[in-house]
C-alpha cells in the first residue's frame, strides 16, 4: 500500500459519496450515508487505522489525503442536509402562500339603490345650504304624529293620513309614522332655535301599491326656525334646492293649500318639460300653536317647513313609468342606475 493508492481509493469513495448524497431524497438516507462514509467502518476511518502500515516516507502524504477526504465528505453531508432543509422551507412557503392578486372572474360592481342615491343627493344639497340632517323613529305616538302638529283626534285631516296603527297601548295611539313631520316636533323639543334641519326617512300609509303609490315610502322634511323668517325665505329655499337638484331649467311655484301645522300653507310644484306642473310636496309657515307645543315663543321665533316624497322625486328625476320599480328588486332594472 502507498499514499498514491490510498488517495486513489479515497477519490473513488468521495465520487460515490457525492453522487449518492446529491440524490438522497430525505434526511434518513443522508444519516445512513453519513454513517457509511464517515462512521467506524468507513473507508476514511479504516484508512487512517492502516496508516501505520505505510512506509514512513509515505505516511505524511497519505495522512493529508485522508484528512482532506474526510473534510470533503463532511462538507458533502452538510451540503446535502442544507439542500433538504431549503427544499422543506420552500415547500412550506409554497403551501402557506396567499395570492393577493387573485381575481374571481370579471367582477361587476354594485351600485346604490335609486332611493339611496336620491336621498344622498338631497342631503348633500341641503347640507351645502347650511342644514343638518335629523332623524326620528318609524314607530310614533299620536302626540308626535298628529297632536303636536295641531291635528287633534276630531280633526278631519287625521282621517286623510290613512294611518297604519300598531297594536300597542290605547287604540290608535301608536302608529307607523304617516309622514316625517313628527321629526319637526322632536327636533324643536330638543333644540333651541335657530334650527335648520332636514329629516329624510321611511313613512307608511294603508295605500295599495299602484303606479304612483307605495304603502311604505320615503319623505324628506325640512324645518327652519329663526328670527324674522318669512314666506319669501321658504320660496327662495325651495327654488334653490330644486335648481341644485334638477338643474336651472326647472321652475317652481307655490299654490295655496291647507295643512293644520302650517299657516299659511302651500303646495309646491315643479315644471315639467312639456310645460305642465308636477306636485312635489307641501310647505308653509310653522303654525304658532306648533311652536308653542314645543316650548318655542312664536312672538320671538318664526319658521317654515316643507315635506315631500323622495320616491316621487326619483321617479321624476329618472323618468320611471311606475313607482313600484323601486321596490320590485329586479336587478335588470336596478342595474341601469
By beta-carbon proximity to ligand DAH, the closer residue of 21 and 234 is 234
Separation between Cα atoms, residue 315 and residue 60, nearest integer Å:
104
**Residues 142-201 close enough to bind ligand DAH by CB under 6 A:** 179, 181
Binding of residue 306 to ligand DAH (CB under 6 A): yes
Alpha helices in 164-230 (DSSP H): 182-190
Nearest one of 167, 207, 171, 201 to 186, comparing CA atoms: 201
By beta-carbon proximity to ligand DAH, the closer residue of 69 and 188 is 188
The answer to whether 246 and 320 are in contact (CB under 8 A) is no
Binding of residue 262 to ligand DAH (CB under 6 A): yes
Alpha-carbon dihedral sign for residues 316, 255, 193, 143: negative
x/- contact string, 270-289, with ligand DAH (CB under 6 A)?
Answer: -----------xxxx-----
By beta-carbon proximity to ligand DAH, the closer residue of 48 and 155 is 155
Least distance (Å) from ligand DAH to the CB of residue 172? 18
Angle between helices 27-38 and 56-96 (to 10 degrees): 180
Among 66, 198, 307, 316, the residue binding ligand DAH under the rule CB under 6 A is: 307
Separation between Cα atoms, residue 60 and residue 64, nearest integer Å:
6
Q: Is 105 helix (H, G, I), strand (E, B) or coil?
A: coil
Identify the bridge partners of residue 145 per DSSP, sorted by sequence position: none
Separation between Cα atoms, residue 274 and residue 248, nearest integer Å:
16
Binding of residue 302 to ligand DAH (CB under 6 A): no
Least distance (Å) from ligand DAH to the CB of residue 265? 6
Q: Is 77 helix (H, G, I), strand (E, B) or coil?
A: helix
Among 54, 177, 201, 221, the residue binding ligand DAH under the rule CB under 6 A is: 221
Least distance (Å) from ligand DAH to the CB of residue 284? 5
By beta-carbon proximity to ligand DAH, the closer residue of 70 and 312 is 312
Binding of residue 305 to ligand DAH (CB under 6 A): yes
Least distance (Å) from ligand DAH to the CB of residue 180? 7
The answer to whether 171 and 235 are in contact (CB under 8 A) is no
By beta-carbon proximity to ligand DAH, the closer residue of 158 and 179 is 179
x/- contact string, 102-131, with ligand DAH (CB under 6 A)?
Answer: ------------------------------
By beta-carbon proximity to ligand DAH, the closer residue of 75 and 160 is 160
Question: What is the DSSP-derived secondary structure letter of residue 249?
Answer: T
Separation between Cα atoms, residue 212 and residue 19, nearest integer Å:
87
Phi–psi pair at 322, nearest 5 degrees: -145, 125
Least distance (Å) from ligand DAH to the CB of residue 223? 7
Identify the bridge partners of residue 265 per DSSP, sorted by sequence position: 257, 284
Judged by the rule CB under 6 A, the positions of this chain that interact with ligand DAH are 179, 181, 221, 259, 262, 281-284, 305-307
Amino acid at each position: 500500500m502507498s499514499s498514491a493508492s490510498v488517495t486513489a481509493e479515497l477519490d473513488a469513495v468521495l465520487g460515490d459519496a457525492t453522487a449518492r448524497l446529491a440524490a438522497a431524497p430525505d434526511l434518513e438516507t443522508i444519516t445512513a450515508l453519513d454513517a457509511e462514509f464517515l462512521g467506524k467502518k468507513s473507508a476514511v476511518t479504516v484508512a487512517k487505522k492502516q496508516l501505520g502500515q505505510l512506509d514512513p516516507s509515505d505516511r505524511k502524504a497519505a495522512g493529508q489525503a485522508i484528512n482532506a477526504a474526510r473534510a470533503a465528505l463532511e462538507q458533502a453531508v452538510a451540503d446535502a442536509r442544507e439542500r433538504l432543509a431549503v427544499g422543506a422551507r420552500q415547500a412550506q412557503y409554497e403551501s402557506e402562500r396567499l395570492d393577493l392578486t387573485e381575481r374571481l372572474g370579471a367582477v361587476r360592481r354594485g351600485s346604490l339603490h335609486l332611493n339611496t342615491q336620491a336621498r344622498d343627493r338631497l342631503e348633500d344639497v341641503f347640507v351645502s345650504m347650511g342644514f343638518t340632517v335629523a332623524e326620528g323613529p318609524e314607530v310614533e305616538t299620536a302626540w308626535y304624529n298628529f297632536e303636536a302638529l295641531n291635528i287633534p283626534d276630531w280633526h278631519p285631516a287625521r282621517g286623510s293620513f290613512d294611518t297604519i296603527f300598531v297594536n300597542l297601548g290605547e287604540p290608535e295611539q301608536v302608529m307607523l309614522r304617516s309622514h316625517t313631520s313628527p321629526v319637526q316636533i322632536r327636533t324643536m323639543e330638543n333644540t333651541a332655535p335657530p334650527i335648520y334641519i332636514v329629516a329624510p326617512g321611511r313613512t307608511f300609509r294603508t295605500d295599495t301599491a299602484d303606479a304612483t303609490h307605495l304603502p311604505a315610502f320615503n319623505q324628506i322634511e325640512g324645518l327652519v326656525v329663526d328670527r324674522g323668517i318669512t314666506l319669501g325665505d321658504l320660496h327662495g329655499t325651495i327654488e334653490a334646492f330644486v335648481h341644485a337638484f334638477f338643474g336651472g331649467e326647472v321652475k317652481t311655484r307655490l299654490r295655496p293649500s291647507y295643512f293644520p301645522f302650517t299657516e299659511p300653507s302651500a303646495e309646491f310644484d315643479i315644471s315639467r318639460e312639456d310645460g305642465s306642473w308636477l306636485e312635489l310636496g307641501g310647505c308653509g309657515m310653522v303654525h304658532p300653536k306648533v311652536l308653542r307645543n314645543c316650548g318655542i315663543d312664536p312672538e320671538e321665533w318664526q319658521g317654515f317647513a316643507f315635506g315631500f316624497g323622495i320616491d316621487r322625486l326619483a321617479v321624476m328625476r329618472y323618468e320611471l313609468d311606475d313607482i313600484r320599480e323601486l321596490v320590485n328588486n329586479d336587478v335588470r332594472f336596478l342595474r341601469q342606475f
